Structure 1
């Protein structure tokens, strides 16, 4: 149950979303539409700001990327890496043994 944001991905978010050190990027679970994931019928949404209690996080380039407690179940069986490939954000899900 790990969230890992690469330095390059953090820089991408800072530039594309005009973020500053101390800002928060929340990943949350939604049905359909959005960023495809390892969970069938679920996708990821993203918002800027801090909401709820942070359960899983990674801080890179001064930005806190996180899942709050309500959505942390999403990574119970997976580790999620956020990287840049071909100048676009890519999400990589690896099955973990924390079931």
Structure 2
């Protein structure tokens, strides 16, 4: 499993979450909402330091990661993070990998 994130998406995270070089963003499973990979759950994001990361990628000095306890949510899918210019928000795609 891997996380891939575009430059445009990273810029959105920097602007919206006031991220700077050395910060970390966690992707996690949250109860409620909808997702194409887990019924009744959706993807959450938070600015926090990792404790048990199993999937990581660093982009423009920012660490994006998934903790061991959230790995089940992705069901062996890669997470692709892009940016939708019209909606001014990230787009999350899950690709079986």
Q: Distance in 2 between matches of 1:39 and 1:95?
A: 13
Superposition RMSD in Å: 1.6
Q: Which residue of structure 1 aligns with residue 78 of structure 2?
A: 79
CA distances 1:21-70 after superposition (whole Å, capped 9, x unpaired): 0000001111113x744221111111111132111011111110110111
**CA distance in 2 between partners of 1:78 and 1:64 (Å):** 19
| Residues 19 and 79 of structure 1, relative CA distance in 2, 3 Å threshold | same
- Which residue of structure 2 lines up, in the alignment, with residue 55 of structure 1? 54
SS of residue paired to 1:58: strand
Give the corresponding residue for 1:93.
Answer: 94
TM value normalised by structure 2:
0.87
Which residue number corresponds to residue 18 of structure 2? Answer: 18
Would the aligned equivalents of 2:25 and 2:62 in 1 still touch at CA under 8 Å?
yes
Count of residue pairs the alignment pairs up: 95
In structure 2, the gaps of 5 or more residues are: none
